[in-house]
Structure 1
Amino acid sequence: MARKANNSFFLEEWLRTVSGSSVSGDLVKQNSAPSARSIIQAWSEIRESLQNQNFDSRYLQALRALVSSESTIHVADPQAKLLISILAFQDVSLPSESYTLVLRLLYVWIRKAFRPSQALVGVAVQAIRGVVDDRRNLQPALVAQSVLVSGAFACVPSLSGDVKVLCLELLCRLLEEEYSLVGSQEELVPVVLAGIGYALSSSLDVHYVRLLDLLFGIWLKDEGPRGTVTYGLMILHLIEWVVSGYMRSNSINKMSLFANEVLETSKEKYAVFAVFMAAAGVVRASTAGFSSGAQSLEISKLRNSAEKRIEFVAQILVSNGNVVTLPTTQREGPLLKCFAIALARCGSVSSSAPLLLCLTSALLTQVFPLGQIYESFCNAFGKEPIGPRLIWVREHLSDVLFKESGAISGAFCNQYSSASEENKYIVENMIWDFCQNLYLQHRQIAMLLCGIEDTLLGDIEKIAESSFLMVVVFALAVTKQWLKPIVSKERKMVTSVKILVSFSCVEYFRHIRLPEYMETIREVISCVQENDAPCVSFVESIPAYDSLTNPKDLFTQRIKYEWSRDDVQTSRILFYLRVIPTCIGRLSASAFRGVVASTMFLYIGHPNRKVAQASHTLLAAFLSSAKESEEDERTQFKEQLVFYYMQRSLEVYPEITPFEGLASGVATLVQHLPAGSPAIFYSVHSLVEKASTFSTESLQGRKSDPGNQILELLLRLVSLVDIQVLPYLMKSLAQLVIKLPKERQNVVLGELYGQVAESDDVIRKPSLVSWLQSLNYLCSNNRTEVLASGSTIDTSNQLAARL
């Protein structure tokens, strides 16, 4: 009894699936798979009810059981005849639900039948007609199922033309007279569309234009269904299915008629969004491949007409001057949404300026409507409940448009790659401006909602994270266009800087390692490294110090602002801290002083150790850099930086300053500042002074203890500092070492012996040997005299052997 369909499917279920509809179309809630026995029992109950004309609850339950099993059961002709008999009853009052269930079973029959009885189909159409003519029976679900089954009857190839005409006439009459019933329930729309799709697939041309008028005009009727992205997708895939059938069956006349009525003629009674989605469906169908001869030519003409219609709709949305009109009306928003998802679904479409500009606008205002979200929340914060907005954001996350943002971004990049230079420039600036606004606006919303509405903030950031992926993919496409040898240096530099600045703005949303991101960064940084101008331009885009610590934005008046808690801003600055070292040799001392230094020192004191570490790394990069044109000025400025660096670093050590950062900074300064620089002396003095503030236990304890870390750093400097600073370092170390317990002294001396033994510096080594001998003597005799370089004390054989 239960048997698979002969490669058939239910069109309305497919439409729900491909459109991402979340509304169930089940007439009856489906339970577990039915057994053959339960199906046989259900048919028996129906037969008995018909014979006894006793349609009680058992009869209704049997119908429900069969409909709930529609995907697995097979309805044969005898069973269809039984169902038709129920519809033909004149004097018996049946539950209104039973008619809908019976029609559904007849639909299962016709879709799964191998060769249905033509006579039986004719009787069924007459019976359905009788049911719908009785106004007492008319319910939305009954009308929708009547349209569906009538269309399914009409597309059966083996039926005669007369029967098909009856089916088509019934379907058209129902839609023309009862469209308000259909539009009243969302779950019925795919059912009705499937019925029209079946009817359009009929071999007859009769009623064809009438069917098209119904399909494309019902959306403009006051009581008809409203145009949405979901319904638009249903139209797209419905037309794809219908036109693919024309192409397979070589229905040249149908293709020509469809092109003439829908694509090549503008009709006021046709909804623009529906025609647009239909055109996209034609393009999608045509990508399956062309046949040879006349059919290939007709398909090519059909596709060409569809692409022209798509471009025409795009021009509607583009204002004068090639600037996309942002959606300000209820009509523009849905149309832009349909535009975005249609181009993502229909494959490659010939590039044009209107297409590119509309797709850009759709991405920035509909797929990622962050500007609208931010504005709404900031305006309502503290005045209105958050709940409704939470629902709005969550609904967008579950919407098919957002779920396909990746495919839409891909279609956008394809359009961009084929665009003219002028339009590329327009679109690039739109994306870069979007990044700037995203940074400024998300800072506000993050500070306002953090700790108050974390769930809502998390949902908003999911949308922003997805927009980050779009920006990265687009930026990579931009580099492939402009960072080529044939492009002018100026264009490459400007593009590289804009990409870096834009990436800094969206850095907060980068939570995964993207190959596209890394490839783009490598490309643009290599371009920036070639010349001073782009390096300076990028560095000068860093937010000013005052705006970092005391922003004048309106939102800061509503909260107590703390720069170190502004995570969005911190992520942006961290991006700069990481990128600037890669081109530090191109940056002048004056530029570093005027733009970078204050921000670097500010973030050295950031409680996030990763951020503080990046600041230390930046300083080390500058200290180790060189620029021939300003050697003296650069050296002087480096020494000035070191004085403040040591103060800033040690005042927050170990609470904030990471030891690794401090150690790299100090090691770099002693190696790259001039020999005998006062800044090096000051650094050693500061380290010793800081070490002396820790307890003896800290100086002799674990390696991770802060006092011991500084002592280890001082020991490391013995092999790094120049010969002029070495005596002072040795004296300072002696002051620390002789205060240590005996056991710790031995460890320190052992480390120093090892350093000196490995040294091949014939100038430094005698002084170190002499100093070590003296230090060893003092430690052995618990003496506390201050040692100076050059002290002479006789060495023991053991010490001499070690050195």
Structure 2
Amino acid sequence: MARKANNSLFLEEWLRVVSGSSISGSLVKQNSAPSARSIIQAWSEIRESLQNQKFDTRYLQALRALVSSESTIHVADPQAKLLISILDLRDVCLPPESYTLVLRLLYVWIRKSFRPSQALVGLAVQAIFGVLDDRSILQPALVAQSVLVAGAFACVPSLSGDLKLLSLELLCRILKDEYSLVGSQEELVPVVLAGVGYGLSSSSVVHYVRLLDFLFGIWLKDEGPRACVTHGLMILHLIEWVVSGYMRSNYVEKMSLFATEVLETYKTKYTVFAVFMAAAGVLRASAAGFSTGAQNFEIVSKLRNSSEKRVLSVAQLLVSNGDVTLPATQREGLLLKCFAIALARCGSVSSSAPLLLCLASALLTQVFPLGQIYESFCKAFGKDPIGPRLIWVREHISDVLFKESGAITGAFCNQYASASEENKYNVENMIWDFCQNLYLQHRQIALLLRSIEDTLLGDIEKIAESSFLMVVVFALAVTKQWLNPVVSQERKMETSVKILVSFSCVEYFRHIRLPEYMETIREVISCVQENDATCVSFVESIPAYDSLTNPKDLFTQKIEYEWSRDDVQTSRILFYLRVIPTCIGRLSASAFRRVVASTMFLYIGHPNRKVARASHTLMVAFLSSAKQSEEDERNQLKEHLVFYYMQRSLEVYPEITPFEGLASGVAALIRHLPAGSPAIFYSVHSLVEKASTFNADALQGRKSDPGNQILELLLRLVSLVDIQVLPYLMKSLAQLIIKLPKERQNMVLGELYGQVAESDDVIRKPSLVSWLQSLNYLCSKNKSEGSASTSMMDTSNQLAARL
């Protein structure tokens, strides 16, 4: 960036870009690229106007056309002489705007000329002195352009010392006499700063301190510009540009003077935020490596050390004022914002506790001011209009501070990596608390604004989604610090649980697949899987059942609360449903019964099938798990839970319960419950009873039809259930099959025959033969009632004979 700055033709335009300013500084809007002919015609109109002393609308349009083409045109010395002649006019009434446009063209001339005429520069400076003496024509834009041109003149390398001095005198006079006009319009700030920057970069040291006094003191004046992050960034990059020039040109005296006057001396007339951003600009310039020679290296080192000390002093100032998570004044809020963006741009800075704490505070209160947003909306909900708050949130999203949240997070993680263990622990807890508050507060705002102010809610969630990325990147940095063999088991376990709980709180905002997220999850889960107590600690952090279905928060009094429509809460529970199976073997049966079971059964009935499926997967994981120290208790709980599992699953099938989840759950309970378990008999009975609720057409339809899915599942169970349950299953199937149309009856019998005939299980074959004979008996008994066909009886007899 520093090299781009030094190659920038128009410094003020570069300052606008790097500061993220959305305000255009163009004097004239350019609609299309000008042609060479139109440019020649414009100069002709100006020359003719000067000769005839007639400055009408054509003259003004010509100036506008040239200024709108400033990026492409070249102003030669003869044309500059023409412009200076216009400024020298005293007895002619010119349009006020024309003075500003003429000065802009002179700026284009001086910035693009390789070696401008020194005589013309002298004439131009004198002419500007004369223009500024006429108070009747002074306007903010004219003053700002005068500052810019005077500064640009002063930094021309080929200019004589006398002309540089004259230009600097002009610059300082304007800044002293007209400072109230300088800061009166936002779009003029980069123009004025660029003019001062040009003056500071001049080889002359005359008036140097006066320029520094203006640059760092104007923000304290009542008529001065409003201090903001955008202006702070302009100062940062302006000083980067100036100091980079010093380093390249070996201006040792100026570097030493800058260090003494700005960085090492505390002046009450200097604004803290401006000096701080200047220090960051020095750090950025010094990181670019322009230094050459031993003397230069020494002064650059001094500059850097002084800058780091100044940055640290501001951090200590903020920390000393109390809780850095709650900036007490607007000034402190601005400092925190500048602190965050400066450390994100200035490169590496020596680690210290105040820097780490300030960065953490800046992220949690300024970059992601979600706490302020939520508090504001909850207090004003139903009272004040939403519009102003919508503007505030949208402005923050477009702000440069928010756009650079990733770089700020990177600077924060760098500081964290070098911090002491105590400071690491402090900022970790700040982030984890932020996650908890984010969950609680966004849950409220989402319920209040959903379908009422979706646009506003979407903007708030953009900020929250970005904060999720910050949490993930930081959590990965934490795992690299603590999840290694040399760290105590207690610290590793505590950190793992806190990360998992924090991730559950921000899960709602995870919309993309992040490698950092997956890597962190793998690391912390592997730690949780090593220890029973850690597993229980994590599981016990799941919100209580009562709080899920009937929260006592005040906000629920404002709406009709439905747990299944609470999307933020659902995302958090879904996280638990997915993570608990990975460590289910470490979880005791009593903990599963006490903490997990009720929530799992609640979300089996969630209308979101993804959530319901995850609940079934958790049930499967528990049924499949084993823990030698409590085998009997665990098996007893499995059998107990199966009864409610089948009831809960089938009562919402097929509307909610996904068949894949149900099928996996039934298969798991049959495989892992003891042979002949009453729970298995109950499960078979429940499935048959559910299948009976579908009519014959549903049972013979497509495989994806709900009734047919249940029937297919029952058929698969023939090869899964133990020999004690098999007769009951077959009897139940027979009663179900005889109600089917004859085509479907034969098809089902064929499927059963193929399933058992291909099996090596010699125990099941006699049972199937016996069942086919029983089915034949039922068919003959019900034939007179039309329940079965002769074809089915023949088929069953044939199959029995073949087996």
Q: Residue 789 of structure 1 aligns with which residue?
A: none
Q: Residue 191 of structure 1 aligns with which residue?
A: 191
Quick one: distance in 1 between partners of 2:420 and 2:223?
A: 44
1:750 and 1:779, CA in 2 relative to 1: closer, same or farther beyond 3 A?
farther
Quick one: distance in 1 between partners of 2:217 and 2:802?
A: 98
The residue correspondences of 1:635-646 to structure 2 (distance < 5 A) are 635-646=635-646
Check the 8 A contact 2:772/2:797 in 1, yes or no.
no
1:800 and 1:264, CA in 2 relative to 1: closer, same or farther beyond 3 A?
same
Please give the root-mean-square deviation of Cα atoms over the aligned residues, in Å.
1.7
The alpha-carbon deviation at position 768 of structure 1 amounts to 2.0
The residue correspondences of 1:23-42 to structure 2 (distance < 5 A) are 23-42=23-42
Q: Residue 677 of structure 1 aligns with which residue?
A: 677
The alpha-carbon deviation at position 594 of structure 1 amounts to 0.6
Q: SS of the counterpart of 1:762?
A: coil
Quick one: distance in 2 between partners of 1:576 and 1:797?
A: 53
Q: SS of the counterpart of 2:751?
A: helix
Quick one: distance in 2 between partners of 1:284 and 1:794?
A: 91
Instruction: Encode CA deviations 1:376-396: one digit per residue, 9 max, x unaligned.
Output: 000000000000000000000
Of 511-520 and 754-763, the range deviating more from structure 2: 754-763
Quick one: distance in 2 between partners of 1:758 and 1:361?
A: 68
Quick one: distance in 2 between partners of 1:753 and 1:701?
A: 21
The alpha-carbon deviation at position 759 of structure 1 amounts to 1.1
Aligned-partner residue type, residue 82 of structure 2: L
The residue correspondences of 1:498-537 to structure 2 (distance < 5 A) are 498-537=498-537
1:8 and 1:229, CA in 2 relative to 1: closer, same or farther beyond 3 A?
closer
Q: Residue 300 of structure 1 aligns with which residue?
A: 301
Quick one: distance in 2 between partners of 1:607 and 1:325?
A: 39
Instruction: Encode CA deviations 1:119-138: one digit per residue, 9 max, x unaligned.
Output: 11011000001001111111
Q: Residue 583 of structure 1 aligns with which residue?
A: 583
Check the 8 A contact 1:8/1:112 in 2, yes or no.
no
The alpha-carbon deviation at position 773 of structure 1 amounts to 5.0
Task: Please say if 1:130 is aligned against 2:130.
Answer: yes
Check the 8 A contact 2:325/2:365 in 1, yes or no.
no
The residue correspondences of 1:314-353 to structure 2 (distance < 5 A) are 314-319=315-320, 323-324=323-324, 326-353=326-353
Aligned length: 791
Check the 8 A contact 1:773/1:795 in 2, yes or no.
no
Q: Residue 149 of structure 1 aligns with which residue?
A: 149
Quick one: distance in 2 between partners of 1:177 and 1:765?
A: 108
Check the 8 A contact 1:8/1:111 in 2, yes or no.
no
The alpha-carbon deviation at position 736 of structure 1 amounts to 0.5
Q: Residue 727 of structure 1 aligns with which residue?
A: 727
1:537 and 1:325, CA in 2 relative to 1: closer, same or farther beyond 3 A?
closer
Q: Residue 604 of structure 1 aligns with which residue?
A: 604
Aligned-partner residue type, residue 418 of structure 1: S
Q: Residue 788 of structure 1 aligns with which residue?
A: none
Instruction: Encode CA deviations 1:688-732: one digit per residue, 9 max, x unaligned.
Output: 111111111111111121111111111111111111111111111
Task: Please say if 1:539 is aligned against 2:575.
Answer: no
Task: Please say if 1:291 is aligned against 2:289.
Answer: no
1:243 and 1:784, CA in 2 relative to 1: closer, same or farther beyond 3 A?
farther
Aligned-partner residue type, residue 501 of structure 1: V
The alpha-carbon deviation at position 774 of structure 1 amounts to 4.5
Task: Please say if 1:455 is aligned against 2:455.
Answer: yes
Q: Residue 277 of structure 1 aligns with which residue?
A: 277
The alpha-carbon deviation at position 492 of structure 1 amounts to 0.6
Check the 8 A contact 2:772/2:796 in 1, yes or no.
no
Quick one: distance in 1 between partners of 2:560 and 2:233?
A: 47
The residue correspondences of 1:226-625 to structure 2 (distance < 5 A) are 226-289=226-289, 290-319=291-320, 323-324=323-324, 326-625=326-625
1:296 and 1:177, CA in 2 relative to 1: closer, same or farther beyond 3 A?
same
The alpha-carbon deviation at position 7 of structure 1 amounts to 5.9
Please list every run of 5 or more consecutive structure 2 residues that lacks an aligned counterpart in the other structure. Answer: 1-5, 786-792
Percent of pairs with identical residues: 88
Q: Residue 3 of structure 1 aligns with which residue?
A: none
The alpha-carbon deviation at position 764 of structure 1 amounts to 2.2
Aligned-partner residue type, residue 107 of structure 2: Y
Quick one: distance in 2 between partners of 1:796 and 1:673?
A: 32
Check the 8 A contact 2:74/2:109 in 1, yes or no.
yes
Aligned-partner residue type, residue 151 of structure 1: G
Quick one: distance in 2 between partners of 1:754 and 1:291?
A: 87
The residue correspondences of 1:618-767 to structure 2 (distance < 5 A) are 618-767=618-767
Q: Residue 790 of structure 1 aligns with which residue?
A: none
1:801 and 1:296, CA in 2 relative to 1: closer, same or farther beyond 3 A?
farther
Aligned-partner residue type, residue 250 of structure 1: N
Instruction: Encode CA deviations 1:316-370: one digit per residue, 9 max, x unaligned.
Output: 100378x525212110111111111111111111111110100000000000000
Check the 8 A contact 2:196/2:215 in 1, yes or no.
yes
Q: SS of the counterpart of 1:383?
A: coil
Check the 8 A contact 2:432/2:498 in 1, yes or no.
yes
Instruction: Encode CA deviations 1:84-139: one digit per residue, 9 max, x unaligned.
Output: 00000111111110000000000000000010011110110000010011111110
1:273 and 1:7, CA in 2 relative to 1: closer, same or farther beyond 3 A?
closer
Check the 8 A contact 1:738/1:783 in 2, yes or no.
no
Runs of 4+ deviating beyond 4 Å: 776-785, 793-798, 800-803
The alpha-carbon deviation at position 184 of structure 1 amounts to 1.1
1:443 and 1:795, CA in 2 relative to 1: closer, same or farther beyond 3 A?
closer
Check the 8 A contact 1:738/1:784 in 2, yes or no.
no
Check the 8 A contact 2:680/2:725 in 1, yes or no.
yes
The alpha-carbon deviation at position 292 of structure 1 amounts to 3.7
Aligned-partner residue type, residue 641 of structure 2: L
Quick one: distance in 2 between partners of 1:358 and 1:745?
A: 75
Quick one: distance in 1 between partners of 2:734 and 2:462?
A: 58
Q: SS of the counterpart of 2:206?
A: coil
Please list every run of 5 or more consecutive structure 1 residues that lacks an aligned counterpart in the other structure. Answer: 1-5, 786-792
Aligned-partner residue type, residue 51 of structure 1: Q
Quick one: distance in 1 between partners of 2:582 and 2:638?
A: 18
1:784 and 1:646, CA in 2 relative to 1: closer, same or farther beyond 3 A?
farther
Check the 8 A contact 1:749/1:776 in 2, yes or no.
no
With structure 2 as the length reference, what TM-score do the two structures score?
0.97
Check the 8 A contact 1:756/1:769 in 2, yes or no.
no
Quick one: distance in 2 between partners of 1:731 and 1:568?
A: 47
The alpha-carbon deviation at position 782 of structure 1 amounts to 6.2
Check the 8 A contact 1:25/1:188 in 2, yes or no.
yes
Check the 8 A contact 1:609/1:656 in 2, yes or no.
yes
Of 703-712 and 379-388, the range deviating more from structure 2: 703-712
The alpha-carbon deviation at position 796 of structure 1 amounts to 8.9
Instruction: Encode CA deviations 1:487-545: one digit per residue, 9 max, x unaligned.
Output: 11111100000000000000000011111101100000000000101100000001111
Aligned-partner residue type, residue 603 of structure 1: Y
Quick one: distance in 2 between partners of 1:176 and 1:227?
A: 19
Q: Residue 97 of structure 1 aligns with which residue?
A: 97
Quick one: distance in 2 between partners of 1:718 and 1:763?
A: 12
With structure 1 as the length reference, what TM-score do the two structures score?
0.97
Aligned-partner residue type, residue 535 of structure 1: C
Quick one: distance in 1 between partners of 2:127 and 2:454?
A: 59
Quick one: distance in 2 between partners of 1:486 and 1:738?
A: 68
Quick one: distance in 1 between partners of 2:743 and 2:696?
A: 12
Of 285-294 and 488-497, the range deviating more from structure 2: 285-294
Check the 8 A contact 2:756/2:764 in 1, yes or no.
no
Aligned-partner residue type, residue 337 of structure 2: K
Quick one: distance in 2 between partners of 1:91 and 1:434?
A: 68
Q: SS of the counterpart of 1:318?
A: helix
Q: SS of the counterpart of 1:159?
A: coil
